[in-house]
Structure 1
């Protein structure tokens, strides 16, 4: 009762009173199994510090399995799993049907837990009594993010079940079009980082189809729209986009009503997608039309419209990159391979910093020029002509900086598909 209520003081009192830390409770479970099954990190830590056995099992059901199958948020479960693994819990112990912890995590789609298990030695390609691997289980339960994660970690998609079916065969029989795309587009994900730049690796990951599909059905390559959807954690919308043949050029023109008609009915999905598209596009104004600042109303409006757009886009980028920073993995246990082995992403970030400084200088220059125009207007004198190069460079530097920032955002979003974001 104390564990179910999360009453840490009561648990401590019972332990201090002489209760065995591994005493048998309901179903023969230990207190630690009960604590992690409700994803109570603090209680689990207390019990482990008091000597609880992190490797204890009941009828081949381990403490780690009890944790992974808890009814809680993934981040809570991942914290308990990380704690147990740090106390030497074996991730490769299987139950009576030979189901492993990795298979349980794949079934639930817990990518953070999958990362933790593999980083602590979980075997990727173990098979249960029916010949199912963790990858097979993830396909069976339509867990696309788990499939991506397992493929990135090197799972073998050619292994067949006892019935002679591979994960691709299963996806075909269940008519999971998007799952087939993922499986066909990531034939050698585990080796992508061995050579080539980050940009090349990303391109290969999302667009290469090195193996033909196992049936006559044509499997299209993953394109920019699908890349965007996965980066936004909206991969479940990919089939709808494919069904309606939505291209990138068409997507950027769509409104909420268009998404609704197409079948994207969840308001949160609609807003997330529309915001992302808006963030990636800067309204471009032809500065050649601004011949005399402050003289013609249309020219003044064009300039003001451009600057308002620039301000909005800078705000959007700041918010999105801040969100990426918050989600970026902070602990080594959350990574199983290096995200940026050749420092290309760091180099791009350095370029973005330089370009944003250039953007700041140009905007300051424009502000000063506008100030001079205002002073001249107040004095009834002709406004000084702004240098043509300054006016043109504002547009080029702004777009260059925003474009580079978008590249970094793309890298970070794809890195999220390669690592755990908390």
Structure 2
């Protein structure tokens, strides 16, 4: 067991007494009082107190420091000044006082102006009426509402995102209402992003464009759907989501309907629907269904043809044309075809898939040729490419003729299989040939021979 050792000659024996602890506290207090702070330490402490008073909106204490000669342009570090702190916390009284005392209203921190900071002040920090008072003061003193930061955002966008409707109403006539930032978002985008129903409703009434697409090909309605804000979605009355194609107004072609004897190209409309959903233009599916657009016609569309068809919204035409262009940019690859090795057995389903895939590729390549003819830019280069593609299409057309012959043979075989007791589900090298049941014959002959030998012996 360890024992505390105390040297009898120690000067701190009084600490072991009951009153030693209090004597020790007195000594510490005396040392603190006797300590001499440097001027730099005093200034740093007062600066910290001044900063805390600004953040907590202790206006009386702040004014005491200002009256004592504190600089209204004091730098607290990281670009913060007294004026920037006031506008970002919604302190209208001190903002006016600092401006009167010569604070720079064009101060910028991290690319944001004083006006942007005032618009970005949330309601939880200060009431919107206080922020509006600051915004009007800054504009009156010459701050430009159309200024942009490094992200090309304006004060109007910050106000829309924070939900400050009074500020939006005040700044909209003074700003470029359709200005776009780096991601091509307008103030309407930012209002939707902030889930601010009243601001979105106001901006729509003021005529802000709702059919614009950002760099990700999204509209304000897409952002609202992503946020699952049903109130904002309901405001976009002109873009009410249409029901997808139902069985009542359109039916998909079956395999027999696709390869009819009339010689018409298969529709492959399901592929068109998948494409439109992929480019977020599913609202236009009904238009293509009512006009009975085939896959060949779809992939050879031009912008004017889409407009004449009834795709009236510009952003929808842009999405579809951009998707078609990207689709045609990818070259044809033979590995995309359905390949079955010769030595393997394959079913009639495998053969049907192979036929469908080949026919679809031929249709798409023909549509690509028509698309280039309609939208050609560099004529000399495209003429060479068109000639080579025409040769390839000729080869593919010959293959399609062979495929048609195979399809007819399969169709006749399928009728024979339907009449058979046991339906055939595999096509082999012996299909169509008459094969004797050798095993059954040998077994039968063996049994009869054994029977006759037994009778003869008996």
Asked if TM exceeds 0.5, the reply is: no
TM-score class, shorter: 0.3 to 0.5
Greater Cα radius of gyration, structure 1 or 2? 2
TM-score normalised per structure 1: 0.41
Return the structure number with greater relative CO, CA threshold 8 A, min gap 6.
1
TM-score normalised per structure 2: 0.38
